[in-house]
Structure 1
Amino acid sequence: MRYSWNELHRFASQCFQVAGVPPADAEWTAEVLVRADFTGVHTHGLSRLSAYIQGIRRGVIKAAPDTALEKRALSVATLDGDSGLGPVVAKLAMEAAVDLAKETGIGIVTVKRGNHAGPLSAYIDLATQAEMIGWAFSNAQPAIPPWGGRKAFFGTNPIAFGAPTHCHSPVVLDMATSKVARGNIILAAKTGQSIPEDWAIDETGCPTTDAQAALRGAVLPMAGPKGYALALMVEILSGVLSGAEMAPHVGSMYDKEQREPGTGLCCIAINPRSFFDGDEFYRRMDVLVDEIHQVPPADGFSSVRIPGERRVRLEHQGRQEGIALEQSTLDELKKLAEELHIAWRDDLFV
């Protein structure tokens, strides 16, 4: 079965609203999750919906947070997320960074008392739509060891970046500093699948193909010591600089203990028009992308793409044809519908 964007979005938004989330925040958070599925990032899509709702029910996520934005310097602001839904808090932070960049050329907003925000590309899109260069960083619950260690210390600490163009899709990258996003291992554990041996270690520090053992152990950093160094950089920007919880002290909405995760984020917007007159930056971006596309493809490749193009293509295709969901995700959604007394429609498929 392939499910339609509109119906999945409606269902997710309704779940959030039944849980007490204001309509506008529910619509946005539902969009972030559904878009993740439609762009192929199923680890951060509707497979997370039940966890968000359970987090609200347990009190580690506030449905209607009392957020507080404070301007600290000409281009700098801080945001207390009051443990609200991660997508809601991250959206506020990037929008504030964009507003600062419109005034001064650059805007930096840090977040404390945040939560899991889903794919950071969602907030990079907000920047590129405003014709800004965007950066986003987030820490997370312990998942990867420092290089040379065998115990989880840093989160997967994702990095996202985007730059607008005028004639092409924006350049957008979104990557974890771990070998893979921890969500891939969570999804494998849900579906009973094994994982590649070079993804993670178990509690004893030995490589494992068992997803459950990997969740008890640690995900390996990408590119060895380079991934560790990048995770540390993200921790400084999103954890230390923001005043949020740091490294092994960051919690998770999946934790059984009743404490707020305290996730930290950092959002940066750069206004290209502060560097060039008119549209010169966007013209140069278009030239750069054109020249990348003209590079002859290697064996096994049909073309050379820029980061973000595949995501745009998958979303366009999914909106037309619908998407398929993992059976484990469907089971969770149907169970959630029953718990929240929301009718699950088996005709959601297209």
Structure 2
Amino acid sequence: MVVYVKVFADELHRFTSECFVRYSVPKEDADIIADHLVLANLRGVDSHGIIRIPVYIEGIKKGYVKPFSKPQIIKETAVSVLIDGGGGLGIPIATKAIDIAIEKCRSVGLAVVGVRNLGHVGMLAYYTLKIARNNLIGLAAANGPALVAPWGGAEPVFGTNPISIAFPTSSKPIVIDMATSAIASFKIRLAALKGEKIPEGVALTKDGKPTTDPKEAHLLLPFGGYKGYAIALTIEILSGILVGGLLSKNVINHGSTQGGFFVLAIDPTMFREYNEYLKDIDTLTKMIKSCKPAQGFNEILLPGEPEDRIYEERLRSGIPIDINTWKMLTEVAKELNIELPKTL
């Protein structure tokens, strides 16, 4: 049985920001990282939440990422921007790239932003949600350390190469956020910390044998077989080759690193009145929600809806943190002489 402690989001935010400030991260950037990691936990994406604090700190210590950097615009057109992140922490750099994409998209109706030379960008839904909340359609993708085999392969070529797409509606945005591997790499680490098994068909051992033991998982498989492989390849090209970033095989295998980051923002009013767009997307969502459930299902959920429900619950009653992750945070707090988040 996994033991948890519970912490309110504001306490976790305070602690997270203080951790990074102690490692020479500017306060503004530290707060952005805290916003991001805590939101991931609030949405139930614990693999991309505060479990990343010691990993990012280790990345700074080992020189994989810089605590601060000055991103530079390398190339810019009316609809596109290419940014060099200067090797800094990925979340603040990617967040600034999103702000640029939103501003440019509002001006010309479409924006494409690529970022290279940056650290791990975290949960992609953080970025696409921000775009959608500005009444724009957002897409974000990233490649990372090679952990995933191509379809039929026996060695890693791709990162978990996640993609997120968010669509504004008259209510909460529809948010798709998924790795193109059959499982996110940090979900394996989280399962190992909790002493849990991983699903069948997502990973292989060093000997190429299927495993459900997270400690034996050496090679990840693409989701959906050759279809997931094709999407992973697409993201590798967009996030790596197109923006001049590293290919997954050339990225240091560490939880603080990334290959490249790709963003697309689209203003629906390029094609039609925004109210007409909202009317039709709301009609579609109502059709989906009113669909008769198949046997074994109680209702039809939209992408992002489970996370929205978890968010409301955790915002109200606190964020559960498994005891092993809590022990890791305790070690960080002791090292940095920071007060741990108050538990409930």
**TM-score, length of structure 2 as denominator length:** 0.95
Partner residue, 1:202: 205
Aligned to 1:258: none
Specify the alignment match of 1:76 in structure 2. 80
Aligned-pair CA distance for 1:46: 0.9
Of 291, 294, 303, which residue of structure 1 is paired with 2:299? 303
Secondary structure in 2 matching 1:178: coil
Deviation at 1:344, TM superposition (A): 2.1
Q: Are the counterparts in 2 of residues 52 and 253 from structure 1 also a CA contact under 8 Å?
A: no
Question: 1:83 touches 1:113 (CA, 8 Å); kept in 2?
Answer: yes
Shift, 1:71, TM fit: 4.3
Letter in 1 for 2:179: A
Matched residues in 1 for 2:81 and 2:75: separation? 4
1:162 to 159, 163, 166: 166
Letter in 2 for 1:253: H
Q: Which amino acid aligns with 1:179?
A: A
Q: Distance in 2 between matches of 1:117 and 1:202?
A: 27
* 1:1-350 equivalent positions in 2, closer than 5 A: 1-166=5-170, 168-214=171-217, 217-254=218-255, 261=257, 263-345=259-341, 348-350=342-344
Offset of 1:160 from its aligned partner? 0.4
Deviation string for 1:25-79 (max 9, x for gaps)? 1111111111111111111111111101111222211111110124432211101
Alpha-carbon deviations, 1:240-269, whole Å to 9, x = none?
Answer: 0010100211224348xxxxx452010010
SS state at 1:36 partner: helix
Which residue identity is paired with 1:229?
A: A
Superimposed CA distance per residue, residues 185-205 of structure 1 (whole angstroms, 9 cap, x where no aligned partner)? 121233343323312011222
Give the Å deviation of 1:103: 1.6
C-alpha distance in 2 between matches for 1:285 and 1:27: 34
- Give unmatched runs, 5+ long, in structure 1: 256-260
Q: Mind listing any 5+ residue stretches in structure 2 that lack a counterpart? A: none
* CA contact 1:178–1:222 (8 Å) conserved in 2: yes
Report the secondary structure of 1:233's partner residue: helix
Distance 1:159 1:269 in 2: 14
> Structure 2 counterpart of 1:311, which letter?
E
Alpha carbons of structure 1 residues 327 and 249: separation in structure 2 relative to 1, 3 Å: same
C-alpha deviation, 1:284, in angstroms: 1.6
Secondary structure (helix, strand or coil) at the match of 2:117 reads strand
Matched-pair contact (CA < 8 Å) for 2:248–2:259 = no
Alpha-carbon distance in structure 2 between the residues aligned to 1:23 and 1:37:
21
**Aligned partners of 1:105 and 1:344: how far apart in 2?**
45
Report how many aligned residue pairs link the two structures: 340
> Are the equivalent residues in 2 in contact too, given 1:165–1:282 (CA < 8 A)?
yes
CA RMSD of aligned residues (A): 1.5
SS in 1 for 2:215: helix
CA distance in 2 between partners of 1:28 and 1:76 (Å)? 24
Q: Identity over aligned residues, as a percent? A: 36
Secondary structure of the residue that 1:239 maps to in structure 2?
A: helix
Is the alpha carbon distance of 1:254 and 1:280 closer, same or farther for their aligned partners in structure 2, counting shifts above 3 Å? closer
**Residue aligned with 1:197, SS:** coil
Structure 1 position 325, deviation (Å) = 0.6
State the shift of 1:87 in Å.
1.1
Q: What secondary structure sits across from 1:212 in the alignment?
A: coil
Which piece of structure 1 moves more, 224-233 or 190-199? 190-199
Distance 1:75 1:296, change over 3 A: same
Distance 1:316 1:294 in 2: 23
Deviations 1:262-288 (A, max 9, x none): 520100100011111342212221121
Q: Which piece of structure 1 moves more, 173-182 or 289-298?
A: 289-298
Could you tell me how far apart the structure 2 residues matched to 1:205 and 1:278 are? 51
DSSP 3-state at the match of 1:267: strand
Distance 2:287 2:152 in 1: 40
Residue identity in the other structure for 1:198: G
Alpha-carbon distance, 1:162 to partner: 0.4
Shift, 1:116, TM fit: 1.2
Give CA deviations for 1:201-243 in whole Å, capped at 9, x if unaligned: 11222212332221xx211110111111110000000000010
State how far apart, in whole Å, the 1-side matches of 2:116 and 2:222 are.
Answer: 24
